[in-house]
Amino acid sequence: GAGVSQSPSNKVTEKGKDVELRCDPISGHTALYWYRQSLGQGLEFLIYFQGNSAPDKSGLPSDRFSAERTGGSVSTLTIQRTQQEDSAVYLCASSLPGGGREQFFGPGTRLTVL
């Protein structure tokens, strides 16, 4: 079946511009996660959505980062006023609800801020 999809696969932007990254989870997966993978920091959690509950935003590095999930499916991660340190691969994952569930990752969006 279809896995997690993300778009775009690559994004190059100029410092100070806003960017939007999209994630389409596996059908039926009510839990959706955003992570960031950079050379110096490894894989870091950003934000988590579960059904209609309020998202867990505890991993967002600054208020320039936000995310929403419409209709319990597609999610968009928005980074405002991008900085060079935002350059990284942004990964989306989805899972069935509940603890201990395996998370399935998309291919990621590589963001480069010039």
Partner 1 sequence: EDQVTQSPEALRLQEGESSSLNCSYTVSGLRGLFWYRQDPGKGPEFLFTLYSAGEEKEKERLKATLTKKESFLHITAPKPEDSATYLCAVQAGAGNMLTFGGGTRLMVKP
Mask for 67-106, x = binds partner 1 (CB under 8 A): ------------------------x-x-x--xxxxxxxxx
26 binds partner 1 (CB under 8 A): no
56 binds partner 1 (CB under 8 A): yes
7 binds partner 1 (CB under 8 A): no
**Span near partner 1 by CB under 8 A; candidates 12-20, 36-44, 67-75, 78-86:** 36-44
50 binds partner 1 (CB under 8 A): yes
Quote the CA–CA distance of 68 and 72 in Å, as a whole number.
10
How does DSSP assign 53-102, residue by residue? SPPB-TT--STTEEEEESTTS-EEEEE-S--GGG-EEEEEEEE-SSTTPP
Q: Which of 89, 86, 80, 102 is nearest to 26 (CA)?
A: 102
Quote the CA–CA distance of 7 and 52 in Å, as a whole number.
24
Closest approach, Cβ 38 to partner 1, in A, equals 12
Closest approach, Cβ 107 to partner 1, in A, equals 5
> Binding residues for partner 1, how many (CB under 8 A)?
27
